[in-house]
Every structure is written in structure tokens, then in C-alpha cells.
Amino acid sequence: MECLKIDFGCGYKHKEGYKTCDITNLPNLDYYYDEENDKILYLGESSVDEFYLRNVVHHIKDITKTFHCLDKYLKKGAIITIIDVRKEFYKENYYLDNLWYRIIIPREEIWFSSTYRDYFKILEEMNYQKVSYSIEEEKEVSIWKKL
């Protein structure tokens, strides 16, 4: 059986070997996250082995709602890999997002939070187990297993 790995929120560049999914309606995406209806189009429930979110969490409006949506599509024992800005660097990242998405390459459809939100707490409340955690410069890398 083939392993289904999805780069969720990948935008224009996705992780090699992963299928693509985003909230934007870009051409050539494998799946589309319908944020309004809280579902991933063209994807079967309990079919995903890994969701990979790189620089995505701070762009999700309602992370609790989105994580619950992702949970529907993950198999039992599957993982969520998250690489996102650390709390200590959040203000700088917010400034750079504003500069990039509002001035340099204006993309009003790209949302970003003005404050750091504790997604660890949300995943723990959803009964996910943190498998690993590391720090890579201004980013934190965590892997969570669905129990």
C-alpha cells in the first residue's frame, strides 16, 4: 500500500515526494482545502500518513478548526510534521510577513497572525503525542503522532 504524504499549505513550492494541498486556488494542486466548509476536496477520510506544514501555522486563521479537519484525514498512527517560527522570533516574522505579503509581493489573500498561538497545547488537547522536537535557528520543528 502506498504511503500518502501531503504538504499542506505548500503554496508554490512543495516538499519533494509529497502531494500538494493549499487554501489558494493555484493550478496543479493535488488537493484543495476548502476553509469555509472545513474539508479537503478530493481526499478520502483516514487516508493520509503524514501532513507536512512548513511555515504554515502562523498563516492559519483558526488553527483549532484546521487541526480538527486534518485529523479527519489522518490514519491512526499517522503524523503531523510542523516547522514554524519560534515564539521568541514571532515579532520579527510578523514584520517580515507584512513587508513581503503587503508591499513587496502584495497577496491580500495570505493571512497571518499578529500574535504567537500555542499550537502545541491544541494538539495535546486533541490527544496527539509529541514524537520529537528540535530547534533550527528561528524555527521549531515538531512531529506529532495521532493516537
User: Which is it for strands 39-41 and 31-34: parallel, antiparallel or unpaired?
Assistant: antiparallel
- Tally of structural domains, the chain: 1
- Contact call for residues 146 and 78 (beta carbons, < 8 A): yes
Residue 36 belongs to domain spanning:
5-146
Q: Does position 1 have pLDDT exceeding 70, yes or no?
A: no
Burial status of residue 95 (CB atoms within 10 A of its CB: 0-12, 13-18, 19 or more): exposed
| Global pTM value | 0.94
- Contact call for residues 23 and 9 (beta carbons, < 8 A): yes
Q: Does position 27 have pLDDT exceeding 90, yes or no?
A: no
pLDDT band at 26 (very low <50, low <70, confident <90, very high): confident
CATH, residue 107: 3.40.50.150
Average pLDDT of 6-18?
A: 91
Q: Does position 22 have pLDDT exceeding 70, yes or no?
A: yes
